[in-house]
Structure 1
Amino acid sequence: MTNAAVHLEAQQHSPQGHAHDAAASEITHAEGQQHPIKLYLVVWGWLFVLSTCSYLVDYFGFQGYLRWSLILLFMVLKAGLIVAVFMHMAWERLALTYAILLPPLLVLVFVAIMVFESDYTHLLRVLFFAPTA
């Protein structure tokens, strides 16, 4: 056996090993999760850049689908940064991440399906409710 395996086995069988693990766990919970301030400043900078880009879409006068696509893209990117870093979602378990992010994603899928179906519904209404000449 290697020295690390012997040390690990000794810790597992001794009551001091469990006490040491419990004490380390309590210290970790007491301190909380600490992230470097640089991370928050970088994210804040990206949020500023994305907001500027969002305002530039109106400044340059983009119209139609390009305008709305760019605005929605910048909005989703900003929301993703806020949720991931400021709401600490990047450090959560995967199950919790799926539980929070999957329902809005499915709602967007259903909205997209309704958008594609709306042309068909509009066509049927025009055909059946149009005045006969």
Structure 2
Amino acid sequence: MADDTTQHPLKIYWIMWAALFVLSTFSYATDFLDRGYLRHFLILLFMFAKAGGIVWIFMHMGWERMALKIAILGPPVAILVLIGMMSLEGEYVEDSRLENYGESTMEVETPGHH
């Protein structure tokens, strides 16, 4: 039977709080970058790093069994992979439509207004 009085050292929590503060500072610093892919990538990177740290340390996932980690973290990873695949497919469809039909077909016509 597991000992319920076991506690993790407080030092781990203080380090995680400091890391969250640093990552948040970097995330807010991206406001000074020009709008573009780099800025969006960095914002998402810092967001996922903070969320991963919170799940790993504060939700005690770092000390759980592998089956529980996979059960909790597997579905969000699968969804992210599917979102990435849909994004690639959407770009392919748009490019093939532009290549085959030209720019004029991309404009949406409103019904009754020709």
How does the TM-score come out when normalised to structure 2? 0.81
Matched, 1:92 2:92: no
| Letter aligned with residue 82 of structure 2 | F
Q: Which runs of 5+ in 1 are unaligned?
A: 1-24
Q: Which residue in 2 is equivalent to 1:122?
A: 94
Report the RMSD for the aligned CA atoms in angstroms.
1.9
Aligned partner of 1:62 among 34, 43, 56: 34
Higher helix proportion: 1
Mapping 1:1-133, distance limit 5 Å? 25=1, 28-29=3-4, 31=5, 33-58=6-31, 60-126=32-98, 127=101, 130=105
Between Structure 1 and Structure 2, how many residues are aligned?
Answer: 103
| Letter aligned with residue 52 of structure 1 | T
Runs of 4+ in 1 over 6 A off after TM superposition: none
Indicate the structure (1 or 2) with the bigger Cα radius of gyration.
1
Q: Distance in 1 between matches of 2:8 and 2:47?
A: 25
| Letter aligned with residue 55 of structure 2 | V
Q: Which runs of 5+ in 2 are unaligned?
A: 108-114
